[in-house]
Amino acid sequence: MQYKNFGNTGIQISTLGFGAMRLPTIGEEDDTQVDLEKAVPLLKRGLDLGINYIDTAWMYLNQTSEIAVGKAIEGYAREKIYIATKNMIDTDLKAWRERLDIQLQRLNTDYIDFYHIHGLQWRVFRKKAVPEGYIKALEQARSEGLIRHISFSCHDSPQNLMHLIDTGEFSSMLVQNNLLHRMSETAIDHAHQKGMGVAIMGPVGGGRIEFLSHLKPREGRTVSELALRYVISNPAIHVALSGMNTMEMIEENVNTADNIQPLTQIETEDIDQMLEQLKGLEDLYCTGCDYCMPCPNGVNIPVNFMFMNYDRFYDFGRVTDYRKLYNELLKPAGASADSCADCEECVEKCPQNIPIPERMQDVAAHFAVEGNT
């Protein structure tokens, strides 16, 4: 495993971090929770292979992800593991502060290394985080030794991300960057120059990029390996998070993360080819994070986007009839885009700021055209 200086924090961070949002689960829908028997060994394997940064959050996996992390770090030297978790400003300050105590218990630790304001927007920072005392609460927790560093995760515009960086309030940030989502790279460079630690979520596009399986990268690489290399080879990026839920995925990603050298000419050429194939996909870019779910009208939003992307951009129609799947699987179940009532409940939840109701109209129109596969 290779390590980088995590901004000015004085910490050497593994170039690959373990994202604990996609751990194996048991149960369904509201009863879904982490499968500790499967998840804990995965996290431990990552630690054994040199990963020293684990990212979780209050809300992940129905508030059970942090429990898995807490159990996984038992028996390891705490000072050699860096835990990042998040707390969304979606409640009053008193309850928000009380969450920290619960998170410490779940994580089985006396302190949290990087405590993030979850999904912070510039508007929220200006109108709520500062005037209502959330930043002061974080500073107080830091002075008490309960957290070591104040951080934020963000899906805001690149311009607003720059504003957050320039506040000087934060030691590190977690943002998105991958072959599909490159708009924040100037802000990432800026944060690096300011001495902030830069962590990346979705380095392989939530798994979406991996489905370009008809591409055959050279040098023995897979598409997902090449996408991960694109991120970790950036000197302004210190750690890329991967939501790994199989031992094979951990082994592959650790092997890839062992190489932080600049992209080779062959890798650059292969990435250019991938970018050419991905043109136009940004308009319907969806990571499949499921933050928009559940839909009150029963629409399976991520699956609708997936079918549209596979059919329209990935050219998978040669193998699978997505129009048939849409009309014979989603539509009878009331889960197709046709069932969208334009209630806009999903819009504020979407971290990609996708105008979902409008895009659902596009999906419905696309699959309504006879013979459009």
Residue 373 included in any domain: no
Calculate the CA dihedral of residues 247, 248, 253, 258 and round it to 10 degrees: 90
Residue 20 included in any domain: yes
What is the pLDDT at residue 155?
82
Residue 246 included in any domain: yes
Residue 173 included in any domain: yes
CB within 8 A of 90, min separation 6: which ones?
none
Query: Strand pairing of 197-201 and 172-176?
Result: parallel
Decide which of 259, 277, 295 is a domain's last residue. Answer: 277
What is the pLDDT at residue 205?
72
Decide which of 226, 246, 277 is a domain's last residue. Answer: 277
Q: State the 10-residue block means of pLDDT for the chain, 373 residues long.
A: 96 97 87 93 97 96 95 96 96 95 97 96 94 97 98 90 97 91 91 97 74 73 88 95 93 90 89 75 64 90 81 52 85 93 89 84 83 45
CB within 8 A of 328, min separation 6: which ones?
none
Nearest Cα to Cα of residue 4 among 57, 69, 52: 52
| Whether 82 contacts 54, CB under 8 Å | yes
Total-model pTM: 0.80
| Whether 59 contacts 119, CB under 8 Å | no
Domain shared by 236 and 150, yes or no: yes
CA distance 146 to 138: 9
What tokens does 55 get? 């990212």
What is the pLDDT at residue 99?
96
What is the pLDDT at residue 353?
76
Q: Return the ∠ at Cα 188 (arms to 124 and 56), rounded to 5°.
A: 60
Domain shared by 261 and 312, yes or no: no
What is the pLDDT at residue 369?
65
Domain shared by 285 and 226, yes or no: no
Angstrom CA distances, 151 to 77, 84, 147, 157, 236, stand at: 23, 9, 10, 17, 17
What tokens does 26 get? 């048991």
Domain shared by 244 and 132, yes or no: yes
CA distance 361 to 354: 13
Structurally, how many domains does the chain consist of? 2
Domain extent at residue 51 = 3-277
Residue 51, classed as helix, strand or coil, is coil
Query: Strand pairing of 12-14 and 172-176?
Result: unpaired
Domain shared by 80 and 179, yes or no: yes
